[in-house]
Structure 1
């Protein structure tokens, strides 16, 4: 099985370094002898594909390393992070305004706030676990937190912590959860949604 990552550290004089997997997993040792072809020397931030092997002493290392066709789009990733962060900020401002003007009950704002805090903490813990090689939080759990209202906190975490922001498959599902959540919230503004929301809170008060 081949993996994709970037050269996170490289000591050209000694001919070795470490690869950071694209999914934010634990860094993998790589030696210059593991590169196929070797038409050029690797440098930091080079995108590569590789296989996983084990040395005699049991240390995991990259093997059959090949340079990818293009480098990791750091600028694009940074810009997308800013877009998601800006969108989350605008969303929370609009949500707060809807609550202030009586369009939505206060507990809805509380749900988003609490869920966002929990999501941010979950991303932070998963980032730490990835660096230390510990047990990771399942992606389905992160997506569920976003779906129930924690996606603004998740967007902040992705932008500030640079976690899960470059994994395309994760981002696709993440934005699907954002669309579903926003669609559900938008439905609450409709006459039928308002009736359901009013019924829920009347039952909870009773």
Structure 2
């Protein structure tokens, strides 16, 4: 059970980081400053889709760009993986 708690805590941290990355990029876009590469934003969305999706909605950032339409797909994949992992831990 300790492994599950550690994994869950790390997952929450990764999602918080993804949220902050999207917020920071939006702020930089508004100020005309150096931007976070889109590749980095996509990687953040792949690793932390809950945070990335929340950041996209909260900051109204990258919601119209075609390549960022993949973020909800990442979210669905992670939901399936979470259900699978939780079912594994519950069986033990």
| TM-score tier (shorter) | 0.7 to 0.9
Runs of 4+ aligned residues of structure 1 deviating over 3 Å after TM superposition are none
- Aligned residue pairs total 89
Question: Larger Rg: 1 or 2?
Answer: 1
- C-alpha RMSD of matched pairs (Å): 2.4
Q: Indicate the residue corresponding to 1:131 in structure 2.
A: 30
CA distance in 1, matches of 2:38, 2:30: 16
Q: Residue 17 of structure 2 aligns to a residue in which SS? A: helix
Q: Is the 8 A contact 2:26 2:61 kept in 1?
A: yes
- Residue 179 and residue 120 in structure 1: after superposition, are their counterparts in 2 closer, same or farther (change >3 A)? same
> Which structure 2 residues correspond to residues 171-190 of structure 1 after superposition, within 5 A?
171=69, 173-189=70-86
Give the TM-score of the pair, scaled to structure 1.
0.37
Q: Indicate the residue corresponding to 1:27 in structure 2.
A: none
Q: Is the 8 A contact 1:123 1:142 kept in 2?
A: yes
> Which structure 2 residues correspond to residues 36-47 of structure 1 after superposition, within 5 A?
none
Q: Indicate the residue corresponding to 2:55 in structure 1.
A: 157
Give the TM-score of the pair, scaled to structure 2.
0.74
2:15 to 94, 103, 116: 116
Where does structure 1 lack aligned partners over 5 or more consecutive residues? 1-101, 199-206
Q: Is the 8 A contact 1:143 1:177 kept in 2?
A: no
Provide Cα deviations, 1:52-80, integer angstroms capped at 9, x if missing partner.
Answer: xxxxxxxxxxxxxxxxxxxxxxxxxxxxx
User: Greater helix share, 1 or 2?
Assistant: 2
